Amino acid sequence: MRNKFKYLYMLIFLIFIGLTIAILKDQKIDFNINDKNMLSVEVSDTGKTKISVTYTLANKALEDNFLFFKSSNRAIQVYIGDEEVYSYDNNFILFSLSKYKWHVIKIKDKYIGKEVKIYDNSSEDNELYDLKTINFVNDTNAILGNVMINDMPSILISLVIIFFSFLLIILWIITIRIEKSNNLLYLSILSILISIVFLINTNMARLIVQGNVLNIISFEISMLIPMVVILHYFEYKKSKLSIISITFPILSFIVANTLMTYRILNLKEGIMFANICLLIESFIYTEEHLYKVFVKKEKVTKAADWAFIFMSITILIDVVNNDLLKANFYFIFSRIGIVFYIGTLAYDVFTELTNSLLIGKKARVYKNLAYNDILTGINNRRAFERDMKKIDGNHNKCNGTVIVMIDINNLKIVNDSKGHEAGDAYIAKIIKYIEANIEDLGKFYRTGGDEFVIVSSKKEYEELKLIFEKMGEKIKISKSDMSFAFGFAEFNEEEDRSIYDTLKRADKHMYENKVNSKKNRK
């Protein structure tokens, strides 16, 4: 069932990416870059609510400039003459990083000589209006420079998280064969989604991309984040999530988008729905987690489990603090909770990865001990039997296989006269000599006390045979104490029913070689 939900979540992510690209490709930045110039005009308000600020555009030099001002994050309307040229509704923001909003209106030729009226249409009467000056700017660098000062903390945090996310992706690519887990990938996706929410809800982003595009993207991302969290927990085989916690994010995503598509919910109501879904999902997971800890007495080893509860509490505080029904969601405490959650997730993932690498290293050590001969360092009998079964079970591998049987001469004499330590040194000396000569022409095994086997291929047959003949000649010339017998056999379908028949023939040839060498010495 886990895999089915994984594929479903991934499909939803792909749909989201496709729709986002389709929406953003038509967005244009309508800014003209001119010389820097900012003209501030002092204005006065008429009260705390329904404020009207007026200013007459009498100066022809203001054409192609921008009317640029900051206000409290509230509902604003701007009229030039009788034409509404700009409106802003704070209810259309899902995640707001600041309680202040910058507004920019381009001044066209037809506006010159007309009166600018700025209205505050907020329903609140307990918050002072923050509009003190309006500015006329003819350089977008001046606009973005002013805005970026306020946005800088969010921008820097987002860029750091994105950089960290791409490092995680690279690390995931490097370690996927070792770890066999997608936790690093899911952590990077979660980090990227959250950093995107941070970035696109800055004033700078909202100046560049007009309309409700960023609100819609924020809304969709908020519906995707729980799915990434669940994908992360799927990677832990021992973790058990209820069917409710798994299916609720999918159902809420489908229901919210369906209701908004058919205009049953407007964007404001859809955002409120998203906030409610986030809280419900947080409550479901928190309840399940606390039940496991305090009722079922399960041991919790993941720091991120507790961090998720902490993050849920910070989200709840922000929602209640900003009044859920207004759908205003300022990232005050939530920013701390989210960054803390990502940090603990990273800690858990890296702890798991480190443990896996250590276990993998130990496993490789144990594997070497299990399949390697301690004295000579070559493969042992267990490795030989394993590989022979693989060859024997594959007819194509049998064809063209060459086996060389080797038996060390005079080992009993050395053991009896000099001791077993000298005998071990004698074996190691001969095997080292053979290894140095055959290099990588075959796989070398120790199958008994003084018995060894090389498994090679037909294309190496002639070269191997020549090497063994030369080794025998060198030993004779140098009058070395080393002595060994060898026998070759190539798999033959007419003679051999299995690779083990080939092994017997090689053993027979080795024995003949051993007998002949004894006769020659006499």
68-95: average pLDDT: 69
Q: Confidence band (pLDDT; 50, 70, 90) for 445?
A: very high
Burial class (CB in 10 A: 0-12, 13-18, 19+), 448: exposed
- Is residue 79 scored above 70 in pLDDT? yes
Beta strands in 22-151 (DSSP E): 33-42, 52-56, 66-72, 76-80, 83-88, 100-106, 115-120, 133-139
Q: Averaging pLDDT over each range in 15-29, 72-86, 122-136, 479-493, which range is the top one? A: 479-493
- Closest C-alpha among 314, 311, 316, 313 to residue 344: 311
Q: Which CATH class is domain 381-520?
A: alpha beta
Highest mean pLDDT of the ranges 38-47, 327-336, 480-489? 480-489
CA distance 341 to 452: 58
HSE value, Cβ hemisphere, 13 Å, CA-based, for 254: 8
Residue 452 confidence (pLDDT): 93
Tell me the sheet residues that pair with 247.
none
pLDDT confidence of residue 16: 61
pLDDT at 146 over 50: yes
Percentage, residues of the chain above pLDDT 90: 4
Answer whether 493's CB lies under 8 Å from 399's CB.
yes
d(Cα 262, Cα 180) in Å, to the nearest integer?
Answer: 43
Q: What is the reported pLDDT for 25?
A: 52
Q: What is the mean pLDDT of residues 67-83?
A: 75
CA 51 to chain centre: 50
Q: Name which of 9, 28, 29, 27 is nearest 17 in CA terms.
A: 9
Q: Which of 286, 226, 211 minimizes the C-alpha distance to 256?
A: 226
Q: Which of 127-141, 145-159, 194-208, 348-362 shows the lowest mean pLDDT across its residues?
A: 127-141
Distance CA 449, CA 405 (A): 13
Chain position carrying tokens 């004033």: 203
pLDDT more than 70, % of the chain = 67
Model pLDDT for residues 172-213, shown as the tens digit of each residue: 787 776 666 677 777 788 778 878 877 877 777 776 776 667
Strongest mean pLDDT among 109-118, 148-157, 364-373, 422-431: 422-431
Q: What is the mean pLDDT of residues 87-103?
A: 59
Whether 385 contacts 485, CB under 8 Å? no
- Please report which confidence band the pLDDT of residue 340 belongs to, taking 50, 70 and 90 as the band edges: confident
Q: Strand 33-42: give its sheet, edge to edge.
A: 33-42, 133-139, 66-72, 100-106
3-state secondary structure at position 63? coil
The H or E element that residue 401 is part of is strand 401-408
- pLDDT of residue 453 exceeding 90, the answer is yes
Residue type, 519: K
Per-residue pLDDT band at 488 (split at 50, 70, 90): very high
Q: In whole numbers, what is the pLDDT of the chain averaged over residues? A: 73
Contact between residue 90 and residue 96 where contact means Cβ atoms under 8 Å apart: yes
> Tell me, what's the pLDDT at 94?
46
* pTM for the model: 0.52
Residue 405 binned pLDDT confidence (cut-offs 50, 70, 90): very high
Rounded CA-CA distance 425/446 in Å is: 15
- Looking at residue 398, what is its pLDDT? 80
- Tell me the per-residue pLDDT of 213-246, one tens digit each, with 9 for 90 and over: 777 787 788 778 777 777 766 665 455 666 777 7
- Better-predicted residue by pLDDT, 446 or 193: 446
| H helical segments located in 375-498 | 381-392, 395-398, 411-418, 420-438, 458-478
Q: Which of 211, 167, 232, 337 is nearest to 9 (CA)?
A: 232
What are 71's strand-pairing partners? 101
94 in Cβ contact with 267 (< 8 Å): no
Residue type, 334: S
pLDDT at 265: 80
The pLDDT confidence band at residue 327, using thresholds 50, 70 and 90, is very low
SS3 assignment, position 106: strand
Q: Identify the pLDDT of residue 477.
A: 80
- 3 state DSSP class of 71: strand
Residues 393-420 have a mean pLDDT of 85
The answer to whether the CB of 143 falls within 8 A of the CB of 196 is no
Q: Using one digit for the tens of pLDDT, what is the confidence trace for 283-314?
A: 777 777 777 777 777 665 567 778 878 877 88
Q: Which long-range contacts (CB under 8 A, 24 or more apart) does 409-417 make?
A: 409/483, 409/484, 409/485, 409/514, 409/517, 410/481, 410/483, 411/449, 411/450
For residue 125, is pLDDT > 60? no
Three-state secondary structure call for residue 333: coil
Give residue limits of the domains in the chain: 139-203, 381-520
Give the per-residue pLDDT at 64: 63
Residue 41: is its pLDDT beyond 60? no
Instruction: For the chain, give the number of residues.
Output: 522
- Gap between the Cα atoms of 382 and 401, Å rounded: 19
R_g (Cα) of the chain, nearest Å = 38
Q: Which residue has the higher pLDDT, 8 or 265?
A: 265
pLDDT of residue 322: 58
Q: Assess contact for 185 and 169: CB atoms under 8 A.
A: yes
pLDDT higher than 60, residue 49:
no
Q: What angle do CA 194, 195, 198 make, to 5 degrees?
A: 90
**Alpha-carbon distance values, 168 to 164, 358, 376, 462 (Å):** 6, 19, 42, 50
Give the separation between CA 254 and CA 248, rounded to whole angstroms. Answer: 10
pLDDT at 454: 92
Distance (Å, whole) CA 435 – CA 378: 9
Residue 119 phi, psi dihedral angles, 5° rounding: -115, 140
Rounded to an integer, the average pLDDT of 133-143 is 63
Calculate mean pLDDT across residues 451-474: 88
Q: What is the largest CA-CA distance in the chain?
A: 125
